[in-house]
């Protein structure tokens, strides 16, 4: 009887090590990740983690930037803080989500965005939260943004014209990658935007 219990316990431990994400989502994520240059997606894990909440992708098309987001949820305070500290140490800039100088690079609804002297491009989903019913979108006020890397230049190199004439001259092409953390929800979102 005890032997059976041990076998059951061992089985449970082994099962907890398996990546339980839906294989189709997993293959889509890997496929999307591979669409970007490896140097741009260094922050993203090579497969979906078990604590994944959602991921989003959009391919670059004309003046629409390419984008990849991966949202993860932490249930352990310690693990969340360790991960956040890791990103904090890597970050070049740290901003709050209500900072007026954050530039939503893929937001065309309110195009009259303020462009500060220091340019901080981010994808809309990095700070805008959609309500559970999907009907309303609100800008997060309690999230922190860590810019891990941002650089101007043509990183897509697919011979398509992606230049953004509405941006400062040295930023007509570029990319920005970083993480958005939320202490209340214990979520960490890794994001990348390339144009």
Partner 1 sequence: MVSSLVIPFYFMTKKIVKKYLILLLVYTVVVRFIGFYGLRLYYTLADDPKLLPATVQSFQAFVTAIEFTLKILVVIFMLIDVKGKKLIDWLIITITFFNADIGIVLFIVWAFYKEWPQKYEAQQQL
- Site stretch for partner 1 (CB under 8 A), options 30-38, 65-73, 142-150, 154-162: 30-38
Q: Report the distance separating Cα 159 and Cα 64, nearest Å.
A: 15
Site for partner 1 in 39-98 (CB under 8 A): 46-47
Q: Report the distance separating Cα 91 and Cα 103, nearest Å.
A: 18
Torsion of CA 27, 29, 30, 36, to 10 degrees: 150
Tokens of 80: 């969340």
- Site stretch for partner 1 (CB under 8 A), options 22-30, 66-74, 108-116, 160-168: 22-30
Q: Which of 9, 10, 20, 59 binds partner 1 (CB under 8 A)?
A: 20
The distance of Cα 59 from the centroid of its chain, to the nearest Å, equals 15
Using the minimum distance from each CB to partner 1, give the nearer residue, 30 or 53: 30
The helix/strand/coil state of 57 is: strand
Edge to edge, the sheet with strand 187-194 lists: 52-58, 66-73, 187-194, 174-182, 143-152, 93-96
**Cα radius of gyration rounded to whole Å, the chain:** 19
Q: Which residues are paired to 175 by β-bridges?
A: 151, 194
Q: How far is the CB of 125 from partner 1 (least distance, A)?
A: 22
Using the minimum distance from each CB to partner 1, give the nearer residue, 57 or 172: 57
The reply on whether position 17 binds partner 1 by CB under 8 A is: yes
- Site stretch for partner 1 (CB under 8 A), options 1-9, 26-34, 102-110, 163-171: 26-34
Using the minimum distance from each CB to partner 1, give the nearer residue, 2 or 14: 14
Residues lying near partner 1 in the complex (CB under 8 A) are found at 17-21, 23-24, 26-28, 30-31, 34, 46-47
């Amino acid at each position: 009887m005890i032997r059976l219990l041990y076998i059951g316990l061992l089985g449970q431990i082994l099962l907890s090590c398996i990546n339980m994400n839906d294989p189709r989502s997993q293959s889509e994520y890997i496929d999307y990740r591979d669409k970007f240059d490896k140097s741009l997606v260094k922050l993203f894990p090579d497969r979906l983690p078990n604590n994944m909440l959602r991921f989003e992708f959009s391919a670059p098309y004309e003046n629409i930037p390419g984008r990849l987001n991966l949202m993860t949820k932490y249930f352990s305070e310690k693990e969340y803080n360790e991960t956040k500290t890791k990103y904090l140490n890597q970050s070049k800039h740290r901003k709050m989500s209500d900072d007026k100088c954050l530039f939503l690079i893929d937001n065309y609804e309110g195009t009259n965005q303020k462009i500060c002297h220091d340019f901080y491009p981010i994808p809309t989903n990095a700070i805008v939260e959609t309500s559970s019913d999907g009907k309303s979108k609100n800008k997060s006020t309690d999230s922190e943004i860590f810019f891990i890397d941002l650089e101007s230049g043509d990183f897509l190199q697919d011979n398509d014209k992606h230049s953004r004439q509405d941006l400062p001259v040295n930023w007509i092409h570029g990319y920005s990658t970083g993480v958005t953390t939320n202490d209340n929800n214990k979520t960490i979102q890794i994001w990348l935007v390339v144009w």
